[in-house]
Every structure is written in C-alpha cells, then in structure tokens.
Chains A and B, each alone.
Chain A
Amino acid sequence: MKKLLNTLYVTRQETYVHKERDTIVINSAGEKLAQFPALTISNILCFGQVSVSPPMMGYCGENGIGLVFYTEYGRFLARMIGKQTGNVLLRRTQYRLADDPEKANAIARVMVGAKIANARTVLMREIRNHGEHANISRAVEQLGYSLKSCQFSQSVPQTMGIEGDAAATYFSVFNGLIRGSRFQFNGRIRRPATDPVNALLSFIYSLITQECVSALMGVGLDPYVGFLHQDRPGRPSLALDLLEEFRASWADRFVLTLLNRRQLSPQAFVTEASGAVRLTDDTRKQVLVAFQERKQEEVVHPYLQEKVPYGLLPHCQALLLARHLRGDMEFYTPYLIK
C-alpha cells in the first residue's frame, strides 16, 4: 500500500514558499520559518497571500506534489496540474464510459448508493447510541427507499434526482445529531454559508475534494471528467463523484465530532457584513490539526480487508475505480462504513 504523505498548509499571510535543493522552505519577511524535505509532502495548500516561487511550482509539477490555492477563508481558487501520470488508454476508457449514458449511470448510481447507505448508517448509529427518535427513524426508512430506487435508476438525471432527495431527507434531520444548543443547523446552505455548521461542512468538503483530485491524478484518471456530475469548465467532476462516498462517512462525522466534543465554540466563527459566516484564523488551524489527526487514524477497508489510514481512502477508491475501468473488476466497489 502507498505511504501516506503529509500535507503542508500555509495559512500565515505574506509568506513565500520556495525550494532549496529538494526541500520546501517557507519564508516570512526574509526569515526562514520552516524547512521540510519534499519527499515527505504530497500536497501544499496555500491560503490567501502566499507566494510560491516558479522553480517550486515546476518541482511540484515534476514530482507530482499537489499545489492548491485557496482564499484566506478557505474558498478554492486554483490548482496547479503537473504532467499527466498513468496510462492514456485508461483515460480514453474513462471518457468513453462517461459519454455512454448507460455505463456512466451504472457507476454513478453505485456512488450515489454508497452515499445514501453511508448517510443512513450515520443516522442508524445515532439511534443506536442515543435512543429512538421519531424523525430520524423516519429519515432512515426514507433513505432505505432511496437506496432501493437507486438500484433501478435508468439514467444519470434520475440518479441525480434520487441523490438530491436523499440529501434533503438526510439534512432535514442533521440538526438532531448536534448535541447541545450551541449550534443550530437549518438545512444545507452554500455559497456563502450563513451559519457555522454550513461553513464548517463546506470547508471540510473542499479539503476532501482536493484529496480526491490528487488521488485520481495519482492513479492516472482525469479528475475533470465525471460520471454523475456533468462536465463544467474548471469543475473536478470525477473528484466530486468520488467525494459522495466520503461526505457522510468521513466529512459529516468529523464535523459532528468537532461540534459534539465541544472542540469549537460559536465564538470560533465570524459573521461578515454580507451575512457569510467564516472560520477565524485560529479556528481554521485548529480544524486542520484535527483533520490531520483523523487522516492518520486507521480503518479496515471493507473491500480490501486491509488497514488503511483515512487519508488514503480516496487513493484506495481511485485505485478500485481504475481497476473497474480497465476491466480487471466487473463492478466498482464503493466505500461503505459499517
């Protein structure tokens, strides 16, 4: 199994990232803040006013290190793409399947099915740990129906519809999973998020999307051509497809842990004049530390039957998808939690 390498987050403003031989150096006001060997890093995530030297960019491209730029508040801006790795035949297969509505749907509905199944498991776990709750039980039942109808979905738009329905059901009871009354969740709101829970969810989804992009590129797939999500310039559709399996199973549970363990308080967020809510600098750091810890935690992959750190799950799934596209496996096996 691949070695889980580290991610370097540069959140300090007015910093300069450059390379010295094979090391990554971060400078601020001419002073060396840190230096890391490049062979331990797989991704560099820059937030806000961070400049990166052209030789560093070239080095990242050549060595397959992901270089991603976000605004200071964590909104995705750009990603640098280096040379394509992997087999061109694999990518051609991917494009052909994406163009074939029936075959695309065969994969799309598996991914949506996994998303719904994982969301349902999260809710059932809630019932198991904290007792019966009428609304949640009803949602579990509804998600069960969605899961069934997903099996028989005939087209990608139909699968999309089932997915949207299931997401609405799931998020309608999500507030019930947050303990205490410090945080309220009244449905999923994006661009911009107008409450802390939504802000946190968006931030974590965006981080895991980047992990998915890197994983797909790593196995030689094109992250921009998806099966469920349609092509749109600049949108990593396949990474978003892959993300579906990790939304409830990884992202939502991680957010719930942060909130329910009271690791974050309402003061950890600021509301801007526009109504948009964002994480304060300290909070973002705290969340990234917790995210990094979660990435190290090991789970047994239900299909591979192997212990893997959370951080490598996107890589495992990308690998399974590539195997399916190559024809080595008849079906794509999604990531399902117990």
Chain B
Amino acid sequence: MLILITYDVSVLTKSGQRRLRAIARTCLDYGMRVQNSVFECEVTPDQYVRLKNELLNIYDPHQDSLRFYMLGSKGRQKIEHWGAKVIPDPIKDALII
C-alpha cells in the first residue's frame, strides 16, 4: 500500500534540527522523498507499523506534527505530478542508472 507522509518539525533548537534529520532519514529507508518534507512510501502493512513506530519514537509531540495519508494499493493512480523533479516509482519504474 502507498503511504504519504508529511511532517512539520520545529527547527528552532539544535535538538529540533536533529529530529528533522532523523525523521527524513527514517522515511528514506522506506520510500522516496518527493518534496522537502513529503515522502511516498510503498510498504507492506507490517513495514508500515515499523515505520510509524520509528517515527513516533523520534518526533516531539509538543512541537512537531506528523501526518500519514493512506492511499491504498491503487494510490499511485491518484497522484498527478506537475513541474520539475519527477521522482521514479521504486517498485514499478525501470531503475537504470
């Protein structure tokens, strides 16, 4: 299933900046960065539970926010992309470097 993850992390403090980096890195383990703090993750239900737990362990509930959008298995079809920086779908597209 496709999950869209977006977040706002307060970066006023050093620890906030650390949280921001940690959250981004964790999201990268599971999906592709499509915009600065927006990730698309194609995961199985168990991977989703793990990913969510990892993120919830990092973020600070008083200062940051996390949003998970469940786009389902046909999620890819609900997305339109306009403009620069087209991100390949790591599951379906031919990955040829």
Contact = CB atoms under 8 A, between A and B. Distances in A.
A5 B41 CA distance: 14
A37 B28 contact: yes
A289 B96 contact: yes
Interface string A1-29: 00111111111100100001111001000
Contact of B30 (A34, A39, A291): A39
Contacts of B47: 39
B91 interface: yes
Given A6-B90, A40-B42, A41-B90, A23 B28 contact: yes
Interface in B74-97: 90-97
Contacts of B29: 21-23, 37-39
A175 interface: no
A332 to B, nearest CB: 30
Nearest to B31: A37
Contact of B97 (A3, A11, A38, A41): A11
A37 B96 contact: no
Contact of B95 (A20, A21, A36): A36
Given A23-B29, A37-B31, A39-B47, A10 B91 contact: no
Contacts of B28: 20-21, 23, 35, 37
B44 interface: yes
A208 to B, nearest CB: 16
A12 B97 contact: yes
A50 B47 CA distance: 30
Contacts of B93: 6, 292
Nearest to A15: B97
B90 A21 contact: no
Contact of A26 (B41, B43, B97): B97
Interface residues of B, number: 19
Interface string B30-45: 1110000000011110
A284 B6 CA distance: 38
A23 B95 CA distance: 14
B92 A6 contact: yes
B93 to A, nearest CB: 7
Nearest to B47: A39
A9 B91 CA distance: 13
Given A21-B28, A37-B28, A39-B47, A288 B90 contact: no
A41 B90 CA distance: 8
A294 to B, nearest CB: 10
A292 B93 CA distance: 7
A288 B96 CA distance: 8
A33 B97 contact: yes
B67 interface: no
A296 interface: yes
Most A CB atoms within 10 A — which of B47, B90, B96?
Answer: B96
A10 B93 CA distance: 14
12 contacts: A9-B94, A9-B95, A11-B97, A21-B25, A21-B28, A23-B28, A37-B31, A37-B32, A39-B29, A39-B30, A39-B43, A289-B96
Interface of B: 25, 28-32, 41-44, 47, 90-97
Interface of A: 3-12, 15, 20-23, 26, 33-41, 285, 288-289, 291-293, 296
